[in-house]
Structure 1
Amino acid sequence: MSLTLARLLVPGTDDDVAHAYAATSARVAEETFGLEEEVALVDIETTGFDPGRDAPIEFAAAIMRGPEIVARFHTMVDPGRDVPLEIVQLTGITQEALIGAPPAEKAALDLAEFVGGRDVVAHNAPFDRGFLEHLAGPSRFPGEWIDTLQLSLIAFPRLASHRLRDLAEAFGAHTPSHRAQDDVEALATVWRACLCGLNDLGPALLGRLAALAPGAKWPARSTLAHLAAGAPATRFDLRTARSERVSAEKGDALCDANDIECATPAVDQIAAEFDSGGIAGRMYAGFEARAEQAEMARVVTSAFASGAYAAIEAGTGVGKSLAYLVPAVRFALMNEVGVGIATKTNALMDQLIYGELPALASALGDLPAAELRFVALKGYEHYPCVRKLERFANSLDDRAAPDAIGVVAALIAWCVQSSWGDVSAINAHLPREVLGEVTASAAECTRKHCGYFPYRCYLHGVRRRAASAHIVVTNHALLFRDAVASGGILPPIRFWVVDEAHAAESEARKQLSMVCSRLELSLLFTALGGSRGGFAEEISKRARRAGVADPGAIDSASAELSQTIEEAATLTASLFEFVRDAVPAADDGYDVVDVRIDTQIRQSPSWAAALRVGRSLAQRLDAAVLAGRRLALALEEGGGATADARADLAGLLTRVADQHIALTTVIDGEASEYVYHATIDRRPAARADRLAASRLDVGEALLDDFYPRIRSVVFTSATIAAGDDFSHFAHAVGLDRLGEEEAYRTVRLASSYDFARQMGAFVPTDLGEPGTPAYHEALERLLYSVHVAMGGSVLTLFTNRRDMDRLYRVLAPRLAEQGLSLLVQGRGVSTKRLRDEFLADVHASLFATKSFWEGFDAPGETLRCVVVPKLPFGQVGDPLTREREERYGRAAWSRFYLPAAIIELKQAAGRLIRSASDTGCLIIADGRVLTKSYGREFLGALPVADVERMPTATMVARVSERFGR
């Protein structure tokens, strides 16, 4: 198996699937598929993504017959405009390289003549097709357009990436270089690999996929049908496929720790596991004992033993995950109870489930590894509902979009190849409307009436496993949702470790909030249907198929529901238009603004209109729920035959009821425990507008809903204290209100890295403060000089998009002249894609905003300098900040605003040193750390004691000497 393929396999992929993928590269050149007619492979490079505004700069193509390329085509193209700098950096195609090239229209006609009416194979074919048909006309390319991106999602659903570059490397092809000729050569291998992978799915499944939405035009259909036709016709059954894939794990549920007297391992015994002869030494060759790691394990053990609470800040390099896993595992095994681990990110969850826990199980020594049972568990919405997926697949008709059909096909293939997993493991883009059709809520679940329940079901299968697991790893969202729901979602776990705890308050607030969303309402109205059809219309058809004696009652209830939904849809559009009028526009460079609904807004004429419409909408939503319940009663006559329909209806009505509650809560605005705010998306045709009520004091809610149900919780993160002070965090999660003296313990463990040697911290003394006229020019000069001095590998973390975009426009071309690439976190750009591009080029630098301040790891030469232009104080207009200022006055600064900014700066600094061999520098380009009294609190919280203060020119020279290439 290639290293690339091993990296791309989603963790948890079954062995037989991994082996099949690994065997593909050897079969690409030899295997025959009965598809020996010629196809044209096509790739184009362009100045952008829009055929109406952008232009091509290079075309390449090849004619392929079976496994052989028999002809090639290539031409540069004159775009009739300048090539943008980022395209030059991406492709290496300069303006000079296009001198004398044919114009785009002629080049497209020449390519069409070469293709000669053959079927066209391209990766992300709609992109290439859009440009070529725009230039030459659709009639010039009469063949089918076959998209290897969509085919690869179906053929290899267990891969984490389906980019052409990644697929080419995974299956042994020449690595493409963002040049059309190279990409076509890679495409030849990827096309053949897709045929191998599809063929492995078997004729029954291929035939089922080819039959999706039979009346719709779907380019992948012909390839699937052709491969399926090579074997005798057999019927595909998804239930049988799931039964063959999964093995029922029927372990007994562990006992509730509240029902027994729990024993605890001795603290010294746990600490000894972090010596070379203990568990840690057996897990890792060359393990070096760290006093901080053993001390953290002692704290966790003591907390569990005494039923206490703790907050631990463990610096990078401590090895905190192992420090809590060892005592948690020992405690769980000793008492045969479950212990919970909650994380914020999927990355950490995967690290625990697929890395550290299996290694720990193998290193236990005194019992077989299989005795330790562990599982990852998420909420309903994270798992595909196979019943709903099957129903949705059967419902696709000639109106279905090709992308939707492709997603359904990929999901079915994923279910066939995946014993367990959730939708985050599926690399296909799942539009929200599709996601709603293939995932289920608690209200929609038919449980024992479902043919997949329990062990063939992704959700209930993993829940059964969680009930008997010693370690349950979940996310913050589900932990706090379970608390709000008073239990019943998670197993009865009484001992918890909450990792990445700096995000706990924010994640808990999401679960405690109520949101009335324009998009959610739109999706509900579409799903339930008005005069245009939808669920209300479909329900009558299902009832007749079920043989209901009196379909007239169902038709009447459906008609009532449809009429109510139409009225609600009209009111929704009016409501959010009035809300937009009431909310002032923000000048911060963002299309989406979040504004507190304060007294001034509530007293405006536009809000008065919104209030009237909102109350009318609330009445219609309430009426829709009542009409839906009458329809559900009418459906009961069908018994088990209408069970699916009733479950689907119940799920939709529950969501409507949630929207009704959120709407009335916000427009009334009477509950003092909430902050009320409106999110407005001013992009054309956007539907992201929403009204929300967010819980102001999360700690108070956790005091009521979370702590009474558990016996011990340990919060931990690399950044939860503001300097040495935990009071901000303790208040945020309610620890300071437990009511018992010494009710919780706080511990700070320093990093085991040698920051004095590995890291430098600098503050230029001649920039001035942000907002002054000279600051922006001085910052521009500093950033240019630092990038050149470092030779790339610089991450600049901005607090707003406006400053970032302005500086990027100025600096990117200047740095390009020095041979340095600068990436930027643009609108609509995938964070993962941007991260991968940055990591792939050790000379690249990156301008980024909020999502890169935490949880972004780039060890080694990739990242050697972090620049913070402005201290990360929250946005002045942030609704939560405004509410706190109004309620707490000047005290809000020291209680919330300042500690949060200090912690965020610590997170930014934490991006830099991620291993014992990393070196690099942090530059704080905000003069306020020198001129304001609070500046010393920021500097004192950094991992280095010696922060160097000097003029910019001196600092650049110092940085170049110590850290430059």
Structure 2
Amino acid sequence: MKPNDYIAQIFDNGGLLSRQFEGYQPRPGQIQLARAIDKAIQTGDNVLVEAPTGTGKSVGYLVPAAYHLTVGADDLLAARASSDDDGFDPEDDQDPTPPPRAVIVTANIALQEQLITKDVPRLQSIVPWEFTAAIAKGRANYLCLHRFDETSADVLLDPIRDPEDRERWNLLAKWKETTKTGDLSELTFELSPLLRQKAAVSADDCIGKACSRSDECFSQRARLAVQNADLIVTNYHMLCSHLAFVNEFGRGILPRFDILVLDEAHALPDVARDFFGFRVSSGAIAYAVRSMASSKWKGSCPFKPQLRDELMRAADEFFEDLRAYKNGPVYFARLKEPDPVDATRLISLLEECRDAQVGVASSNVDPERAEQLRKAARKCRIHAENIRRAMKNEQVGKEVNEVFYIEEHGKGVALCCKPVKVAGILQSTIWENAGIRATIATSATLAHDNGPDALGYFAEEVGADDAEQLVVQSPFKFDEQALLVIPSGLPDPKDRNFSELVAHVIAEAVDQADGRSLVLCTSYKTLSAAYDVLERRFGHRFTILRQGQAPRTQLIARFKEDLHSVLVGTKSFWEGVDVQGESLSCTIIDKIPFDSPDDPINDAMNEILGQKAFSEYAMPRASIALRQGFGRLIRSLTDRGVVVMCDKRLIEKPFGKTILRALPKTKMSRDINNIRAFLAGKR
């Protein structure tokens, strides 16, 4: 061990971790990860690291981050001072020379909570360096006292309100009196989307200093805690908000930071596409003009009678026209011609409502109401601009850089937009940002194959072409712990009856595994077919759970607790399901998870890349997604289980064999009857 080798002092046998955990064994991959991050921070480089499940990824990046924030703080400050353009506005911090900070970004709030409540406090109790940590979430995750006061009467006095909503609102009112944080994740009951909208506000709706309760604001208190923290744990939506502010205003919503760790980084491209696009619906327009309703005003309403009603009629007509166009013979995947429907009247009325709200805001109204109207006017302006841009669709005949498409949701329709590529904005705001000393992107699944350029697809997607690349070896012995079964006699995935046919194959695998199975489907049609067959055949033997029966977290908890249960889900269950032990002994996957042909980004990439689209876009995405699903099975050194792949293309098609090579190396069988023997411990 070298003198001052803090990584060895933490991770080696006899180190600080071994003194805390009985039976501790150093993980070579974890140490390799920590050393790669340490080097990146020292040299000011960026690095992409695939660190498989079991590596101990969070501790692997938290240790070097914490060390450099404390022991290495002077070096970080010196590096910051030498930067020509730090990329941050000093007004973001109360201190003109703030101390070094690290930002850890995760894929969702549940992972944030795990880091801030478990991983970080555990590390703080072990390492000899003192550092503080805080969680950064969007305003909509906190109770807004002003919004609560404003909407309580609506909820409690509405005669057609669901009685359960009123009961939960009363519970919320009691919680409001005792909570110290106002963080809605503390609630022990679910708030419906409508109640949540009445209890919280987004950053776009917050009226800031004009609010009469700003001194009590829970969100503002949380933001102050973030300003004072050494290590900030946030999510990709917050990071994208920050990047958008940096891009537009030259300053961000997060305070200045020197180290950026992107955990679950495979999620970044799609989150960025969603964030930097738009989505406008009749409901969104109604929300933007809610302050114009006469019921919102005591006394006479200052707005022109019928204006709001005219706008909503025009909105309803526009979105019905969009629905008809989507279901007509021309539309496929996205808008490919200008002016598919007439939006002239809707845009004109949105602009009239904007002007009306600005006018009233400038008159003699109280500051809170004025700020609300200015925010609402801004929404009207943005909706009008987005609809105009989508209808003009000026990129027709040119290279596609964004897609406009129509999305049906329940009884409604939305007009949506996404950028096709986000590499440019991520490159300028992250990888080439001189104010960030080092950016580390890590995930269990960044590689799309096992070749020399395994991380090349991900690097290109996020604009990190010049970053160092590292793939850490898995600590698991897949050849002993796992069996891959690709049953013989599988139906063709292109068969119109594939869902019904494969449901019976899934049932055979569940029978062999004695329940204990996670079934991952690529479509709701297959999910329904599989659930129906499983419930009919095994409902008396096993608990059959399906996506949509209950909140996701509850379904996973029930699946863990009931040893012989079966959980059937689609896309949201391919990631983030961490069930160790016998409850998840078999993962069953219906087919290779290619994007649907009518996915707008997929369709645009086909146009841009032509014949190369399949090998350069569709295959890498499917490979990474399949590796995510495969990764649900083996979660610890003692786990043992079977992955059943119901897609014969993995062994019959050249592209399938390429994708198969990217999966962990396991024993393979074509006989579905081998599942029971393998799980019983027979080799």
TM-score by length of 2: 0.87
Q: 1:771 offset after TM fit, Å?
A: 2.8
Following the alignment from structure 1 to structure 2, what is the Cα–Cα distance between the partners of residues 277 and 884? Answer: 52
Q: Which amino acid aligns with 1:425?
A: E
Residues 895 and 626 of structure 1: is their aligned pair in 2 closer, same or farther, counting only changes over 3 Å?
Answer: same
Partner SS state of residue 521, structure 1: helix
Matches within 5 A, 1:471-486: 471-486=231-246
Equivalent position of 1:343 in the other structure: 106
Equivalent position of 1:918 in the other structure: 639
Residue 409, structure 1, aligned to residue 170, structure 2? yes
Q: Which amino acid aligns with 2:104?
A: I
Partner SS state of residue 378, structure 1: coil
Q: Which amino acid aligns with 1:619?
A: S
Equivalent position of 1:834 in the other structure: 555
Following the alignment from structure 2 to structure 1, what is the Cα–Cα distance between the partners of residues 526 and 212? Answer: 55
Matches within 5 A, 1:67-82: none
* Structure having greater relative contact order (Cα 8 Å, sep ≥ 6): 2
Equivalent position of 1:422 in the other structure: 183
Q: Which amino acid aligns with 2:177?
A: V
Residue 715, structure 1, aligned to residue 452, structure 2? no
Partner SS state of residue 287, structure 1: coil
Equivalent position of 2:544 in the other structure: 822
664-673 or 876-885: bigger deviation: 664-673
Q: 1:615 offset after TM fit, Å?
A: 2.1
Q: 1:951 offset after TM fit, Å?
A: 4.0
Q: 1:876 offset after TM fit, Å?
A: 1.4
Q: Deviations over 1:774-808 (max 9, x none)?
A: 96676455333322221110112111121232233
Q: Which amino acid aligns with 1:710?
A: I
Residues 705 and 372 of structure 1: is their aligned pair in 2 closer, same or farther, counting only changes over 3 Å?
Answer: closer
Following the alignment from structure 2 to structure 1, what is the Cα–Cα distance between the partners of residues 202 and 677? Answer: 58
Matches within 5 A, 1:448-527: 448-450=209-211, 452-454=213-215, 456-486=216-246, 487-525=251-289, 527=290
How many pairs does the alignment contain?
Answer: 640
Q: 1:821 offset after TM fit, Å?
A: 3.5
Q: Deviations over 1:265-320 (max 9, x none)?
A: 99932343112443433553432211111110111111111221111110111000
874-883 or 274-283: bigger deviation: 274-283
Equivalent position of 2:94 in the other structure: none
Partner SS state of residue 481, structure 1: helix
Following the alignment from structure 1 to structure 2, what is the Cα–Cα distance between the partners of residues 286 and 398? Answer: 60
8 Å CA contact 2:479, 2:667 repeated in 1: no
Identify which of 562, 566, 581 aligns with 2:309.
Answer: 566
Partner SS state of residue 862, structure 1: coil
Q: 1:647 offset after TM fit, Å?
A: 2.5
Q: Which amino acid aligns with 2:545?
A: L
Residue 665, structure 1, aligned to residue 389, structure 2? yes
Equivalent position of 1:896 in the other structure: 617
Equivalent position of 1:694 in the other structure: 418
Equivalent position of 1:31 in the other structure: none
Residues 388 and 824 of structure 1: is their aligned pair in 2 closer, same or farther, counting only changes over 3 Å?
Answer: closer
8 Å CA contact 1:853, 1:908 repeated in 2: yes
8 Å CA contact 2:265, 2:441 repeated in 1: yes
Following the alignment from structure 1 to structure 2, what is the Cα–Cα distance between the partners of residues 534 and 322? Answer: 54
Following the alignment from structure 2 to structure 1, what is the Cα–Cα distance between the partners of residues 278 and 656? Answer: 37
Q: Which amino acid aligns with 1:796?
A: V
Structure 1 runs not aligned, ≥5 long: 1-264, 542-554, 587-593, 637-641, 737-742
Residues 667 and 449 of structure 1: is their aligned pair in 2 closer, same or farther, counting only changes over 3 Å?
Answer: closer
Q: Deviations over 1:70-99 (max 9, x none)?
A: xxxxxxxxxxxxxxxxxxxxxxxxxxxxxx
Following the alignment from structure 1 to structure 2, what is the Cα–Cα distance between the partners of residues 767 and 912? Answer: 22
Q: Which amino acid aligns with 1:703?
A: Q
Q: Deviations over 1:192-246 (max 9, x none)?
A: xxxxxxxxxxxxxxxxxxxxxxxxxxxxxxxxxxxxxxxxxxxxxxxxxxxxxxx
Equivalent position of 1:71 in the other structure: none
8 Å CA contact 1:290, 1:318 repeated in 2: yes
Partner SS state of residue 417, structure 1: coil
Residues 579 and 773 of structure 1: is their aligned pair in 2 closer, same or farther, counting only changes over 3 Å?
Answer: closer
8 Å CA contact 1:389, 1:408 repeated in 2: no
Q: 1:430 offset after TM fit, Å?
A: 3.4
Following the alignment from structure 1 to structure 2, what is the Cα–Cα distance between the partners of residues 388 and 718? Answer: 41
8 Å CA contact 2:104, 2:260 repeated in 1: yes
Q: Deviations over 1:673-721 (max 9, x none)?
A: 211111013x4xx23x110110111111212333325332101110111
Identify which of 127, 139, 143 aligns with 1:364.
Answer: 127
Following the alignment from structure 1 to structure 2, what is the Cα–Cα distance between the partners of residues 702 and 501? Answer: 12
Structure 2 runs not aligned, ≥5 long: 74-98
Following the alignment from structure 2 to structure 1, what is the Cα–Cα distance between the partners of residues 626 and 495? Answer: 22
Matches within 5 A, 1:531-930: 533-535=294-296, 538=297, 540-541=298-299, 558-560=302-304, 563-584=306-327, 596-599=333-336, 602=337, 608=340, 610=341, 612=342, 614-636=343-365, 642-670=366-394, 672-681=400-409, 683=410, 686-687=411-412, 689-707=413-431, 708=433, 709-724=435-450, 725-736=454-465, 743-772=466-495, 779-816=502-539, 819-826=541-548, 829-930=550-651
Partner SS state of residue 582, structure 2: helix
Q: Which amino acid aligns with 2:368?
A: D
- Flag the structure with larger Rg: 1
955-964 or 829-838: bigger deviation: 955-964
Q: Which amino acid aligns with 2:178?
A: Q
Equivalent position of 1:740 in the other structure: none
Q: 1:896 offset after TM fit, Å?
A: 1.2
757-766 or 694-703: bigger deviation: 757-766
State the Cα RMSD in Å: 2.7
849-858 or 835-844: bigger deviation: 835-844
Q: Deviations over 1:518-559 (max 9, x none)?
A: 22123334x2244xx343xx1x55xxxxxxxxxxxxx57x22
Residues 803 and 373 of structure 1: is their aligned pair in 2 closer, same or farther, counting only changes over 3 Å?
Answer: same
Residues 372 and 285 of structure 1: is their aligned pair in 2 closer, same or farther, counting only changes over 3 Å?
Answer: farther
Equivalent position of 1:237 in the other structure: none
TM-score by length of 1: 0.63
Partner SS state of residue 690, structure 1: strand
Matches within 5 A, 1:207-286: 268-286=5-23
Residues 949 and 419 of structure 1: is their aligned pair in 2 closer, same or farther, counting only changes over 3 Å?
Answer: same
Residues 457 and 378 of structure 1: is their aligned pair in 2 closer, same or farther, counting only changes over 3 Å?
Answer: same
Following the alignment from structure 2 to structure 1, what is the Cα–Cα distance between the partners of residues 583 and 671? Answer: 27
Following the alignment from structure 1 to structure 2, what is the Cα–Cα distance between the partners of residues 911 and 317? Answer: 12
Identity of aligned residues (%): 26
